[in-house]
Chain A
Amino acid sequence: MATRLDSPSDLDPRTGLDARISRLCVMLIRVAVALMWMRGALWKNPPEFGALEHFTRHAVDYPVFGPYAWLVENVVLPNITLFGWFTLFLEAGLGAFLLVGLATRLWALIGLGQSVAITLSELYVPGEWPWALFLMIVIHIALFATAAGRSYGVDGALRPYWAQSSNPLAKVLVRVS
Chain B
Amino acid sequence: MTTYRLDRAEIGLGVGALVLALFLMAVHTRANALELPFLRPALGAVLLAVGVVAVAGGVLGGTVGRALVVVAGLGSGVTAVVHLVLAAQGTANQGGLMSLFGGFAVGLLIVALTPRREPTQ
Q: Which residue numbers of A lie inside 8 Å of B, CB to CB?
A: 31, 34-35, 37-47, 88, 91-102, 152, 154, 157-158, 160-161, 163-164
Contacts and interface: CB of A to CB of B under 8 A. Distances in A.
A41 B16 CA distance: 20
Contacts, number: 112
Contact of B87 (A40, A46, A96, A154): A46
Nearest to A92: B99
Interface string B100-121: 1011101100110011010111
B119 A163 contact: yes
Contact of B36 (A35, A94, A158): A35
Contacts of A152: 12
Given A44-B95, A45-B87, A163-B121, A99 B35 contact: no
B5 interface: yes
A97 B106 contact: yes
A39 B96 contact: yes
A108 B99 CA distance: 16
Given A44-B95, A96-B102, 11 more contacts: A35-B36, A38-B96, A39-B35, A39-B36, A42-B96, A88-B95, A100-B13, A100-B104, A152-B12, A160-B121, A163-B121
